[in-house]
Amino acid sequence: MLIELKNITKEYDNGGVVTKVLKGISLSVKEGEFLAIMGPSGSGKSTLMHIIGFLDRATSGTYLFDNEDIKDFNDDELAYIRNERIGFVFQSFNLLARTSVLDNVILPLTYSKKKDHINLATKALEAVGLGNRLSFLSNQISGGQKQRVAIARALVCDPKVIFADEPTGNLDSKSGNTVMYILGRLNNEGRTIILVTHDRNVAEHANRIITIKDGEIISDEHNLNSRKSQMIEDDQDIELK
Amino acid sequence: MRILFKNINVEIKNLISRKARSFLTILGIIIGVSGVIVIISLGAGAQALVLGQITKLGTNIIGILPGKSDETGPPAAIFGVQIKTLVEADVEAIRNKTRVPHAIDIVSVVRGNVTITSGDQSIDTTFTATDGSYVRVQNVEMDHGVFFSDEEGRAAANVIVLGYDVAEQLFPNGGELGEIVKLKNNSNSFGSIPFRVIGVQEKLGTIAFQNQDDQVFIPFKIGQRQILGIDYMQFVRIRTDTPENVKTTIIDIEGVLREQHRIKNVADDDFVVRDLADAIKILTNITDALRMFLGLMAGISLIVGGIGIMNIMLVTVSERTREIGLRKALGATSHQIRNQFLLEAVILTGVGGIFGIIIGIMISYLIALGARYAGYDWSFVISPLAIILAVFVSSLTGIIFGLFPAMKAAKLNPIDALRYE
């Protein structure tokens, strides 16, 4: 099992008022799954993803990543996992301003032990169809292209899992489709994808959909008619080149 | 360390993309560092200049000034206070070979302002009334003609030696030797006194901020009695046979003067006897204190520059909170974030320091050129110590004032930083 959560809770203490955001989440994710976490805003789905993605720590419960309890990891080891074993894609892209597309993708490599940064970053950008935009500045490209740069950045350290937090939230439907298509293809190549969204249409791309409400899992279903497979079969007007 | 160097490129790109802000940030450091260098350089140059001129006079010269003074400070007479306690009888007593055996030349000096007239040419200048042996005590060199002899001096003959500029102004066509000039003191009602020109001093230029060519020399008694109308002397200079005998001669002279003035207690001395070593010590003390003070002022501006850097770095940290969160999400450790911001601060101060050194050296050099052009024998001194000090202080400023914002950045929780609006 790649990810195993047992009774995870998260509480925020705002000046004596304790808010319970997650109320005992238990969840297992196998390697190679395409999982969507769905729920209305305020349901705790983002908090859950931050905890699974090592950006935040749970208040209580056990989290095993690759069969290791992350309680035993210090901050530097968590930074290493964030760098080498997982990748993030955010709703608001979070690219460095006034910095070239290539340098943005190189950024995680500067924190890793990997060599040949330019070559690795170029390959990652080619994989998302931006091989011809390397020297563009991050503010000179469209929103869809920005998100593809962000995917290349998440991909460049060759992680096992890619976390995507509302990756299409700031995009029009066409660019959004392209982004989902790329994520689907990455999943077909064997990478685990964990997607957070409030949008049923976006969640439909996944093979498994978990719904969260008020900090609890209310449904966990397999999605047999994943739009991912349809899209890749049709290769419907996706322009990656 | 490896990460540190790998990131220098990225950091420099980062700083260049914020040119205007980076420049304004380091301006304080540039001014501070160049200030330190200029001040230390000028201080060293001026000190060397003044001390060099004093040492040129020779090390076997003793000066007697009327009036009391403490050990290290300058005597009151220097500030223009007229003290009348040093008189002819004192000098006669010092001339007694059994009391002061090592004194070779003893010259009394008074100085004042006069108008000197030749035909219809008339200029204002300074006169020095002294004895014939002044020429040996002060190493006076003649351009042409002679200085007056001891006999002419004692006889108060009406002879005069002109400074180079005075001769040139009164006698633009030369031929001044043997001519008669008239001296008049405008501050009393004594009449004009005629003098025969017997010599012209060699051109000296400006020493210790005074034009040494704008003066004349006349025998002591005439200057003292007939031009100034006084019966005391402003100072006395004595040359000893060897520099080794300077200290004993000072003690001899002090004994004579105490007896002359009936002083029983050393604390009641109404005179000061000093040699050049004392004068050099005093001057060095004064100039050192000045240099320290000015250097300190420039140092304060470095601290102000450092605070400027801290200010900008703090703004940068809060502006780039999201970026910090992102970097942490992509795998940066707290150390790497701290080092990144520290590196930025150090690069900023380092670049400021380098510019400051270059500008400081350039300004010092220009001032040295200007001073030489103005006739001073100025040496362009850049002390390596000043450069090391400036570099050390500016990089220290960078580290100290960069550390706080860097720690602040490193401590940020990745998810809080990412959520920051």
**Segment A30-60, tens digit of pLDDT:** 999 999 999 998 899 989 999 999 988 899 9
pLDDT band at A236 (very low <50, low <70, confident <90, very high): very low
**Nearest C-alpha in A relative to B328:** A79
Q: In terms of domains, do B91 and B194 share one?
A: yes
| A112, B320, B343, B416 from B14: Cα distances, Å | 20, 12, 11, 23
CA-based angle B266:B269:B272, to the nearest 5?
115
Q: Given B217, B245, B275, which residue is the final one in a domain?
A: B275
Residue B321 and residue B180 share a domain: no
pLDDT of residue B81: 65
Q: How far is CA B173 from CA A1, A201, B118, B169, B296, in A?
A: 112, 109, 13, 9, 53
| pLDDT at A146 exceeding the cut of 90 | yes
Testing the interface with A: which of B7, B330, B416, B421 to mutate, by most A Cβ within 10 A? B330
Chain A residues contacting B via beta carbons under 8 Å:
50, 53, 55-56, 75-76, 79-80, 82-84, 88, 90, 94, 96, 98-99, 103, 107-108, 110-112, 153, 157
Residue A167 has what pLDDT?
Answer: 93
Query: Which residues of chain B have a CB within 8 Å of the CB of A84?
Result: 331
- Closest approach of A113 to chain B, Cα-based (Å): 10
Same domain, B89 and B126: yes
What gap in Å lies between CA B127 and CA B166, rounded to an integer? Answer: 11
> For A161-174, what is the mean pLDDT?
92
User: Does B109 share its domain with B206?
Assistant: yes
pLDDT band at B141 (very low <50, low <70, confident <90, very high): confident
Which whole number is the average pLDDT over A215-232? 83
Judge whether residue B353 has pLDDT over 70. Answer: yes
| Claim to verify: residue B194 and residue B298 sit in the same structural domain | no
**Percent share of chain A, pLDDT over 70:** 95
Q: Quick check: B315 contacting A, CB < 8 Å?
A: no
B92 and B207 together in one domain = yes
**Residue B144 sits in the same domain as residue B16:** no
- Cβ-based neighbours of A189, under 8 Å, separated by 6 or more: none
Same domain as B209, residue B171 = yes
Contact assignment for A103 to B13 by CB distance below 8 Å: yes
Among B275, B307, B337, the domain-final residue is B275
Q: What pLDDT sits at residue A232?
A: 65
Number of neighbours of residue B49 by Cβ within 10 angstroms: 18
Amino acid at position B27, single letter: L
To 10 degrees, the CA torsion angle through B271, B275, B280, B281? Answer: -70
Across the beta sheet with A60-65, the strand order is A17-29, A3-14, A60-65, A68-69
Are B46 and B138 contained in the same domain?
A: no
Same domain, yes or no: B50 and B63: no
Q: Which residue, B275, B300, B321, sits at the end of a domain?
A: B275
List of residues 6+ apart from B323 with CB closer than 8 A: A96
CATH 1.10.240.10 applies to domain A30-44+75-234: no
Cα gap A105→A154, rounded to integer Å: 8
Measure the CA–CA gap between A181 and B33, rounded to whole angstroms: 58
Question: Are residues B10 and A103, on separate chains, in Cβ contact within 8 Å?
Answer: yes
Query: How many residues in total does chain B contain?
Result: 421
What average pLDDT does range B121-149 have in this prediction? Answer: 88
pLDDT at B7: 63
Rg (CA), chain A: 18
Residue A231 has pLDDT above 80, yes or no: no
Q: Using a CB–CB cutoff of 8 Å, tell me whether B10 touches chain A.
A: yes
> Does the structure show a pLDDT above 90 at B218?
yes
pLDDT over 80 at B104, yes or no: yes
Q: Are residues B150 and B20 in the same domain?
A: no
Q: Exposure of B194 by Cβ count < 10 A (0-12 exposed, 13-18 middle, 19+ buried)?
A: exposed
CB B330 to CB A96 under 8 A? no
Please write the tens of the pLDDT for every residue from B46-75: 888 877 777 776 778 888 888 876 655 666
| C-alpha torsion angle, residues B138, B139, B140, B144 (rounded to 10) | 170
- The pLDDT value given to residue A192: 95
Identify the pLDDT of residue B75. Answer: 60
Residue labelled with tokens 């003290």: B83
- Mean pLDDT score of chain B, rounded to an integer? 83
Res A60: pLDDT: 94
- For B46, counting Cβ atoms within 10 Å of its Cβ (0-12 exposed, 13-18 middle, 19+ buried), the class is middle
What are the domain boundaries of chain A?
A: 30-44+75-234
Band of pLDDT at residue B78, cut at 50, 70 and 90: low
B4: closest chain A residue by CA: A110
Name the domain count of chain B: 2
Are B101 and B243 contained in the same domain? yes
pLDDT exceeds 90 at position B402: no
**CB-CB contact of B198 with B180 (8 Å):** no
Please tell me the predicted confidence (pLDDT) of residue B311. Answer: 83
Domain that holds residue B357: 2-54+282-419
Q: Quick one: what percent of chain B has pLDDT higher than 90? A: 14
Non-local CB neighbours of B356 within 8 Å, separated by 6+ positions: B29, B30, B31, B32, B33, B34, B36, B37, B390, B394
User: Looking at residue B119, what is its pLDDT?
Assistant: 84
The string of pLDDT tens digits covering residues B305-350 is 778 878 887 887 888 888 888 999 999 999 998 988 888 888 888 8
Predicted TM-score (pTM) of the model is 0.65
